[in-house]
Structure 1
Amino acid sequence: MLELSPLNNITGVHAGGTASVSLPLGLTYETIFFDLQGITPAQIKNFRVELNGRMLTEYETLAELVKENDYYEREQLDGYVALHFTRPEVKSALSPDLQVQRFFGLGTVGLELAQIKFDIDSAATNPQIKAWAHKSAGTLPGWLFKRRVFRFNFAQGTNEVADIPRPEGAHIALIEIRKPVQDTENKVGVTEVEFLVNNTKWRDRLPLKLHNHILKQGGRTAQKDTFAVDLMQQGDVFSSLMLTKTGENAIHDMRLRIDCDEGGAASVIVHYADNYAASSF
């Protein structure tokens, strides 16, 4: 049976504070809902989930999680932000969808500590935050989604990124290139992207309008300032890019070629699916 219950009080909730909440152990977390009052998602910064002190996933602000939910066309509610461990967009050709979605739930059996931490902007007015969790029967932490942010400074024109971490055995489900622009009337940031693996084009350059249309056909909504290289657009995580250094599928080189119409700060955000028990990443 799926249990819905409030989490422990979140400590440190005040303007300029560092807040945290420890998740009760023993069950599997499917979704956590945050109720925000007196604070906006953008005022919740450096949001991260940690297991036994190891970072599982990170967001620069909670507004980035709102964008992620928009991208996957997940139902949203004003004043609340949902953190999904089970993934509604995951599908399978071999197993029932619900089974494979729950496969990625955050099991906490055997953990010593599971925490969510974040900083609160000093401009927040009387912030109040509560949280509820959907939980199911307890499991060990297994395959989990991990979100990592890598920061760059891009020039106008073509930029090449070839040093994205490749943890052995993990899969890359999604790469987002986020490039805000100053000239919002005439510029879009990232115009085209080429993704190469062992010098083979996994994604070729496409006109941005066509690229976004293809995302929409796959149940995605393109986000402002963000170019998405979606490697599991049909929902099958295990048909996405598997990272390995050995065998016939070994990856020796992986790079992005990113065309920008304006220079400046940018982020490359990689969504991995990884086996927690077998990985130190």
Structure 2
Amino acid sequence: MRLYQRLPSFSSVAKGETAVLTFPIGATYDQVVVKHTGVTAAQIKNIKIKVNGKQIATFKHGTDLNKFNDRYQYKLTAGYLDFHFKRDEMKTLLEQRALSLGTSNVFEGADVITSVTIEFDIDAGAAAPVLKAFAYQSDVAPFGICTKNRHVPLAISAGENEIDNIVMAPNTRILAVHVVTAATVDQLKVQRNGATLYDLPTDVIAKLNLANGRNAQADWDSVDFVLEGDIKQAVSCDDVQDFRLTITAADDTVASTPAYLIVEYVSGLAGL
């Protein structure tokens, strides 16, 4: 049965402070909605989602979170930030719900969940921040698998840029890698243990993304391994000796142009 609940109040809601929302334990969280007034999405910074104090996902600011959601066609509403744990772009309802955050501790052998929080910094330039949070919940379940992300800071120049420090962890799969930069990216290539998994110009990548229900985002180029909504197509991190992404930037790219990766993973709580 689906429940729609008001969540407890954030702590430390003031400009220049770190606001923290603590989830009640026991429910299964499909989505959490944060209504914000007196502070813009861009002024909500260093967003972190933590389970048992362990960071599972982060976004630089609310603008990045909105871009992430819009990419997957999660509907945006001005004045709200949405945290989607259930992943509606997956092919089957079972796969969608498998990624929800179950926090019940009544299931023998499951991870014991003691805390789930969302925290972020409120920019000192905010006007008069007010935050309210709501949850869309489903049937009680243990914590199983979830989506996580990691950021990889980069500086890219014209021509080929090889990145070989993307984190690999046992019992973990990579769903997608998003390249965020103002530079023009011409080609993306992914190799795993020397085998080429992906090697396409970005105009073809854009066509594939559009054909599979992904919205284009300014300054984002994405290698998405689960375009068909099949979680089994995510790339396994097990037994990986070498994993590298090659970004080919346009000839007019200024040396050391700032960039970063958002790497999406799926794993259990203990992984990554």
**Global fold match (TM > 0.5):** yes
1:205 lines up with 2:212 in the alignment: no
Question: Which of 106, 111, 114 is the matching residue for 2:101?
Answer: 106
- How far apart are residue 67 of structure 1 and its match? 0.3
Q: Which residue of 1 aligns with 2:53?
A: 53
What SS class does the counterpart of residue 212 from structure 1 fall into? helix
What SS class does the counterpart of residue 204 from structure 1 fall into? strand
Report sequence identity in percent: 30
CA contact (8 A) 2:95 2:231 kept: no
CA contact (8 A) 2:25 2:115 kept: yes
What SS class does the counterpart of residue 205 from structure 1 fall into? strand
1:36-74 deviation digits (Å, cap 9, x = unpaired): 111111111010111111101111111111001111111
Cα distance in 2 for partners of 1:203, 1:160 equals: 14
Q: Which residue of 2 aligns with 1:195?
A: 190
Amino acid at match of 2:230: D
Cα distance in 2 for partners of 1:41, 1:22 equals: 20
Q: Specify every segment of 5 or more residues in structure 1 that has no aligned partner in the other structure, as ranges.
A: 92-96, 182-188, 246-250
Cα distance in 2 for partners of 1:241, 1:100 equals: 16
Cα distance in 2 for partners of 1:138, 1:63 equals: 32
Question: Which of 130, 133, 137 is the matching residue for 2:132?
Answer: 130
CA contact (8 A) 1:190 1:226 kept: no
Cα distance in 1 for partners of 2:205, 2:49 equals: 32
Q: Which residue of 2 aligns with 1:252?
A: 241
Q: Specify every segment of 5 or more residues in structure 2 that has no aligned partner in the other structure, as ranges.
A: 105-111
Q: TM-score, normalised by structure 2?
A: 0.93
Cα distance in 1 for partners of 2:41, 2:53 equals: 24
- How far apart are residue 202 of structure 1 and its match? 0.9
Cα distance in 2 for partners of 1:4, 1:107 equals: 15
Q: TM-score, normalised by structure 1?
A: 0.90
Amino acid at match of 1:252: Q
1:218 lines up with 2:212 in the alignment: yes
1:77-116 deviation digits (Å, cap 9, x = unpaired): 222121100001011xxxxx22221111101123111111
CA contact (8 A) 1:222 1:228 kept: no
Cα distance in 2 for partners of 1:156, 1:42 equals: 29
Cα distance in 2 for partners of 1:244, 1:24 equals: 34
Q: How many residues were matched structurally?
A: 261
Amino acid at match of 1:215: N
